[in-house]
Amino acid sequence: MNNRWKIGDKEIDSRLLIGSALYPSPAIMEESIKASGSQVVTVSLRRQGVNKEAGESFWKIIRSLGVEVLPNTAGCHTSKEAIVIAEMSREVFDTNWIKLEVIGDQYNLQPDPYETVEAAKILVKKGFEVFPYMTDDLVMAKRLVDAGCKILMPWGSPIGSGKGLMNPYNLSAIRKAFPKITLIVDAGIGKPSHALQAMELGYDGVLLNSAVALAQDPVAVAKAFALAVEAGRISYKAGTMQEREFASPSTAVVGTPFWHQHQ
């Protein structure tokens, strides 16, 4: 099955996007990304700027993997702050891609809808391909599309919670409302089954980090997620059976059992 798809201005094979934070070691991060098959890795300008030596080592690994880099504005709380980080990231990482995160609540890391939309409007005008992190709010989705976003990244549940898809109905509503917009579930994915469910809803991809980085065996779990995302996509495209409110036998029963016919 041809799994190639267009995301932004690029074509890639894997529909699993993965983060680069929280791994026990750089070596495990490298092996996990390889095992995931992901071709898009999120990075934080702020995290890389803390230690020059560690930053150079990190970049050596990322370059060796040959992946697309998706910088993020993690830690920003205002549109102005996010725009500054985005512009710095474009210079440092040499890409117009930006994962827009503007946090409005520190308890559950829920994005601020007003500041996110405001930042998206300005960044789109500045030539960025904006990947906005948002809640599963249909109205916010409409505002972001109106702002010029061609990609939306609604959460499954709060960042790092591992709770999976809290409200599949809302996610389905966004999918139906925007059939031509690239949709990626971002945040809250904890198990491969969560990723498979997101893909079966018709989402184009899944972005995760903690679910792999904090697993007992990150490399094995990364491979499991790769398989789950692929299985979910195949299932969605194939068209699985609809749920029923009643039982239905899988084998039709007509007339006399065949073993009685010759007695």
Extract the tokens encoding 151. Answer: 């990609």
Question: Cα dist. 245→97, 107, 169, 242, 248 in Å?
Answer: 45, 39, 18, 10, 10
Beta bridge partners of 53: none
**Residue at token pair 């989705």:** 141
> Where are any strands of DSSP class E within 28-111?
40-44, 68-72, 97-100, 103-105, 110-111
Q: Is 121 a catalytic residue?
A: no
φ/ψ of residue 185, rounded to 5 = -75, 125
What is the residue-wise DSSP string for 221-248? HHHHHHHHHHHHHHHHHH-PPPP-SS--
Residue 113, C-beta contacts closer than 8 angstroms, at least 6 positions apart: 104, 134, 135, 137, 140, 143
Residue with tokens 């992901």: 38
Q: Which of 6, 99, 163, 237 is catalytic?
A: 99
Q: Which of 184, 160, 166 is nearest to 108 (CA)?
A: 160
**In angstroms, how far is CA 79 from the centroid of its own chain?**
22
Q: Maximum CA pair distance of the chain?
A: 86
Question: Which residue numbers are catalytic?
Answer: 99
